Amino acid sequence: MGAGSARSTRIAALDVVRGVAILGTLWTNIWLFTHTHGLAGYLLDPVTADTPGWAATTQDLLSALSQGKFLALLSMMFGMGLAIQQSAAARRGRRWPGLYLWRAALLFLDGAVNYLLIAEFDVLMGYAVTAALVSWMLLTSDRVQRWLVAGFAAAHVLLVAGVSALALAYQDQLATGSWTGPNPYADGSFVELVRFRVDQFVTFRAEPVCILLGTIAMFLLGARLFRAGVLGPEGGALRRRLLVLGALALPVDLTLGTVGGVGGLLLERYVVAPLVALGLLALLAELCLRRGTDGWLSRRLQEVGRTALSCYLLQNLLGGALFYGWGLGLAAGLGAWRLPATLLGYAVIVLAVCVFAHLWLRRFPVGPVEWLWKRAGDLGGATPRLARREP
């Protein structure tokens, strides 16, 4: 395999993995959309009282399967994207991070819009801050970056372990029951829900701040794995080690997520799930190399990966439109039907997102939000118009 084909294989595989990560975040977040009281109620009572026992068990398992894995996978994809952009800047003789810091600021703005208008569990604001910090760290030597990954990861684990211990000690007090008071998710207008997000800004933005150290580690690790060839044919031995690590971590992860209580959930989502995500990354890369990236499913995932930012915002917008009161308001009346409605809602949104990505990329080379982000980020340079593809 020549250098050009090897590079194209790696990039195609990266788009596939990024597409899986985007749709996987929806798998995690769909339960927030279908909760009668949205994220605020989910934090108090993930499984509502009117959920049958078998459905509650199934929901716990399905939530545990996605919890934290795709967040970590998406974080590594961002790190890989940073490594690619740094290499591109070096080839063109441009200073790094240079203009990228402006793009990070624009990503923060995108995240703020997403948080206020679409979904309070936005990750883009935290990713923007992390990307700005990591862009400077990528200028250090490989040895320093190894120490940075280890140091930030260790500090993150200690922080999460401490919070988990507190959660275990006060688990009775944390079992506060269901949501009481006005419900802006089911009863409020679009503007009232925006106002609620403003009022609860500190609460809803606590997660990105608390996991900043871990996110930095995942960004750096993603960049290092990409440079080590984890997506290419030369990374076979590395992928095998990551597969073993993920396989060993998976049963621990599911146990913590299903029977570990609040403390176990924290350990699962923020400590063990990233290990499972490493195995998932290796598995997806291996499948891309063995089966190719030209199949129907691979092409659809690549399309989502190439329009990742647009698809992320779109799937959150569709979730709100289906289940919140300002849209169809379906969440308020689900009751015992929440589990099947959640699975059906997920399938509908995934279908809509994939159709959008496919149709858009038939006419344009990049997603609409990606184009706006890059155009705004290239201030001072000649940026071409969003030209249609040639027939």
Exposed/middle/buried for 101, CB within 10 Å: 0-12, 13-18, 19+? Answer: middle
User: Among 215, 371, 351, which Cα is nearest to 306's?
Assistant: 371
Structure tokens, 332: 């308020």
Vertex 98, ends 92 and 101: CA angle to 5°?
A: 130
Neighbours of 350 (CB within 10 A): 20
Find the DSSP H helices in 228-367: 236-259, 261-267, 273-291, 296-306, 308-323, 338-363
Query: Residue 344: its pLDDT value, please?
Result: 97
Query: Residue 391: its pLDDT value, please?
Result: 43
Question: Residue 266 and residue 326: Cα distance in Å, rounded?
Answer: 32
To the question of pTM greater than 0.75 for the whole model, the response is yes
- C-alpha dihedral, 71 to 212 to 281 to 1, nearest 10°: 130
Question: Residue 245 and residue 261: Cα distance in Å, rounded?
Answer: 24
Exposed/middle/buried for 198, CB within 10 Å: 0-12, 13-18, 19+? Answer: exposed
Query: Residue 376: its pLDDT value, please?
Result: 78
Question: Residue 231 and residue 286: Cα distance in Å, rounded?
Answer: 8
Q: What is the mean pLDDT of each run of 10 residues along the chain (391 residues)?
A: 54 95 96 89 76 85 93 96 93 91 93 95 95 97 96 96 82 56 88 94 92 97 96 94 97 90 88 97 96 94 96 97 95 90 97 98 94 72 46 43
Query: Residue 269: its pLDDT value, please?
Result: 93
Query: Residue 377: its pLDDT value, please?
Result: 64
Exposed/middle/buried for 304, CB within 10 Å: 0-12, 13-18, 19+? Answer: buried
Q: 160 near 267, Cβ under 8 Å? A: yes
The two counts, helices (H) then strands (E), for the chain are 19, 0
Q: Which helix (H) or strand (E) holds 163?
A: helix 142-169
Question: Residue 339 and residue 268: Cα distance in Å, rounded?
Answer: 22
End-to-end CA gap in the chain: 30
Question: Residue 73 and residue 18: Cα distance in Å, rounded?
Answer: 8
Question: Residue 257 and residue 364: Cα distance in Å, rounded?
Answer: 41
Question: Residue 165 and residue 151: Cα distance in Å, rounded?
Answer: 21
Vertex 256, ends 148 and 52: CA angle to 5°?
A: 140
The domain locations on the chain are 3-377
| DSSP state letters, 217-236 | HHHHHHHHHHHTTTTSGGGH
Query: Residue 146: its pLDDT value, please?
Result: 96
Query: Residue 378: its pLDDT value, please?
Result: 66
Tokens 């934090």 belong to residue: 43
